Amino acid sequence: MSTLKKILIVLLFSFLFIPAELPAHESRPLFIEIKEIKPDVFYQTLKAPRSLPDFNVPNLKIPAGCNADGEIISSYTSDSYIKKSKFNCGDSISEKKLQIEYPVLNPSITTIIYISLLNGEKHRKLLRAGELSWTVPQKEERGQIAKEYTLLGMTHIWDGIDHLLFLLCLVFIATTPRRILITVTGFTVAHSITLVLSTLGIVKLPIPPVEAAIALSIVFVASEIARGKKDSLTYKYPVTVSSSFGLLHGFGFASVLSSSGLPQTELPVSLLFFNVGVEIGQVLFILAVMFVLFILDKTLSIHIKNLFKYDRLAAYMIGSAASFWMFQRIYTFWY
């Protein structure tokens, strides 16, 4: 194989799979919950991920025609900034505009808004990255819930470079379409189990160690590829490895919903469609990888089997990025 072709392969992995700045994505959205506690009196809770700098923690602007009732109470946990306040609208909140304000700049993270009223009416809204306002409707459109949470799941997996790199390593380990299907199916089933258990509160793990362990899982599979021992347990039974680490990744997926503070009444619906979105995102990513390999096969006359000979090169790149994330996330245990 010519030097030019080797360089093209390296660039492919560099630009498609390894970000220039190395940090993994922020998986948790901004969460806003508004509860009507008395007729036309509302209590709001805003939770922002701790990845945001202190000076850029957002505020929810009080809707026009409403007045603040008391001061904003601010606090924080290991993974969230929390702001609580109360306001009085004098009438219904329906058709009022909610607006998010960032002090410095918009970090382009998704936002989940949940509203519950005394009459039992509930509203749910997912704002895409960059959207900062929403007008409360008069009546909730239930069909919109499936669309929005499916989109959230797809967005999470596509923005999640760490999860994508783990999937890419599974593709390199499995190599054949049949083994890839079995391996990814094991990963899907496993992370679906822990996603359900964690989001419903049956099993709880602290988020920072889970995120660090997810990075470690990528280091492990990348090191297995780099060693190139085809007789190892990982290569003989890739579904065993994908299923084991899938349980871990499921807790990471669950952090998008449970750690954002979603009410329990929201979880069954949001959980189902979020999981559907994650699966759709995974399938599309793997199809995209196979398509790229197919194009290289046809345009550069590089057979797909030959491309897999360069999996060790990709493994060193992936492992380096994952090692950086692992130490970065461990550092957050104390800071």
Q: What is the predicted pLDDT for the residue at 305?
A: 53
Q: What is the DSSP string of 213-267?
A: HHHHHHHHHHHHHHHT-TTSHHHH-HHHHHHHHHHHHHHHHHHTTTTTT--TTTH
How far is Cα of residue 226 from the mean position of the Cα atoms in its chain? 27
Mean pLDDT of 272-300: 82
User: What's the whole-number mean pLDDT along residues 147-169?
Assistant: 84
Has residue 152 got a pLDDT over 70?
A: yes
Q: Where are the domains of the chain?
A: 3-25+160-331, 30-144
For residue 232, what pLDDT is reported?
86
**How many whole angstroms separate alpha carbon 322 and alpha carbon 301?**
31
Residue 78 reports pLDDT greater than 90? no
Number of neighbours of residue 159 by Cβ within 10 angstroms: 18
With contact defined as beta carbons under 8 Å apart, do 271 and 199 qualify? yes
The mean per-residue pLDDT over the stretch 3-7 comes to: 44
pLDDT of 15 reads 42
Three-class SS state of 327: helix
Angle of the 161-174 helix axis to the 267-299 helix axis, nearest 10: 50
pLDDT for the residue numbered 22: 46
> Does pLDDT of 262 surpass 80?
no
For the stretch 225-262, what's the b/e string if a residue is b when 16 or more beta carbons lie within 10 angstroms of its beta carbon?
A: bbeeeeeeebbeebbebbbebbbbbbbbbbbbbbbbbb
Task: Choose among 183, 126, 198: nearest CA to 155.
Answer: 126
The mean pLDDT value for 242-259 works out to 83
pLDDT given for residue 140 in this prediction: 55
> How many CB atoms within 10 Å of residue 27?
25
CA angle 256, 260, 266 (to 5 degrees): 90
Tell me the C-alpha distance between 12 and 114, whole Å.
41
Kindly give, in sequence order, each residue whose CB lies less than 8 Å from that of residue 122, ignoring residues fewer than 6 positions away.
Answer: 114, 115, 116, 140, 265
**pLDDT tens by residue, 174-184:** 888 889 889 98
Question: Using one digit for the tens of pLDDT, what is the confidence trace for 57-74?
Answer: 898 888 888 888 888 898
Q: What is the mean pLDDT of the chain?
A: 80
| Residue closest to 255 by CA, chosen among 206, 291, 296 | 206
More confident residue, 297 or 148: 148
State residue 246's pLDDT score: 92
pLDDT band at residue 245, thresholds of 50, 70 and 90? very high
Residue 220: pLDDT above 90?
Answer: yes
Arithmetic mean of pLDDT, 231-246? 90
Q: Rounded to an integer, what distance in angstroms lies between the CA atom of residue 333 and that of residue 335?
A: 6
Torsion 292-148-271-106 (CA) sign? positive
Name, of 29-38, 132-141, 302-311, the range with top average pLDDT.
29-38
Query: Range with the lowest mean pLDDT among 7-11, 59-63, 216-220, 259-263?
Result: 7-11
The per-residue pLDDT for 331 is 81
What does 191-205 look like in DSSP terms, one character per residue?
HHHHHHHHHTTSS--
Spatial distance between the Cα atoms of 293 and 47, rounded to a whole number of angstroms: 42
Helix 143-159 to helix 161-174 angle (10° resolution) is 70
Selection from 250, 165, 158, 133 nearest residue 199 by Cα: 250
How many whole angstroms separate alpha carbon 15 and alpha carbon 245? 26
Helix (H) or strand (E) holding 74, with range, is: strand 73-76
Highest mean pLDDT among 200-209, 279-288, 289-298: 279-288
Res 19: pLDDT: 46
For residues 79-106, average pLDDT: 87
For 167-205, write each residue's pLDDT tens digit.
989 988 888 888 988 998 899 899 989 988 887 778 888
pLDDT at 215 over 50: yes
pLDDT at residue 26 tops 60? no
Confidence of residue 255 (pLDDT cuts 50, 70, 90): confident
Summarize the confidence of residues 233-258 as an average pLDDT: 86
Map tokens 């496993």 to a residue.
190
Q: How far is CA 9 from the centre of its chain?
A: 28
